[in-house]
Amino acid sequence: MNYFWIQLVLIAGAVILAFMFIRRWDAANTRAWKRIAFSVFVVANIYAILRPSDVTWFAHKMGVGRGTDLVLYVMVLAMGFLTLNTFLRFRSLEKKLTDLARTVAINEGARLNEERFDLDLPVSAPVNSSGA
Partner 1 sequence: MSQYDDVWLVIPAYNEGQVIADVVEGARKTFPNIVVVDDGSADDSAKHIMSTGAHLVRHPVNLGQGAALQTGLAYALAQQGAKYFATFDADGQHQTADVEKMVALLRTGEADVVLGSRFIEQNGQVPWIKRVVLRTAATVSPTARKLKLTDSHNGLRVLNREAAGRLRITMNGMAHASEIVSFLAGADLRVAELPVDILYTDYSRAKGQSLINGVNIIFDISLRERGRR
User: Where do contacts with partner 1 occur on this chain (CB under 8 A)?
Assistant: 21-26, 88, 91-92, 94-95, 97-98, 101-102, 104-106, 108-110, 112-113, 116-117, 121, 123
3-state secondary structure of 118: coil
6-25: burial string, b at 16+ Cβ within 10 Å, e else = beebbeebeeeeeebeeeeb
Task: Tell the smallest beta-carbon distance from residue 107 to partner 1 (Å).
Answer: 10
Task: Tell the smallest beta-carbon distance from residue 87 to partner 1 (Å).
Answer: 8
Task: Tell the smallest beta-carbon distance from residue 123 to partner 1 (Å).
Answer: 7
Distances (CA, A) of 69 to 66, 72, 74, 75: 5, 5, 9, 10
Task: Tell the smallest beta-carbon distance from residue 74 to partner 1 (Å).
Answer: 24
Residue positions counted in the chain: 132
Nearer to partner 1, 77 or 110 (CB): 110
Helix axes 52-62, 67-117, angle to 10 degrees: 90
Q: Pick the closest to residue 69 from 13, 4, 6, 2 (CA basis).
A: 6
Nearer to partner 1, 9 or 110 (CB): 110
Nearer to partner 1, 17 or 48 (CB): 17
Nearer to partner 1, 15 or 43 (CB): 15
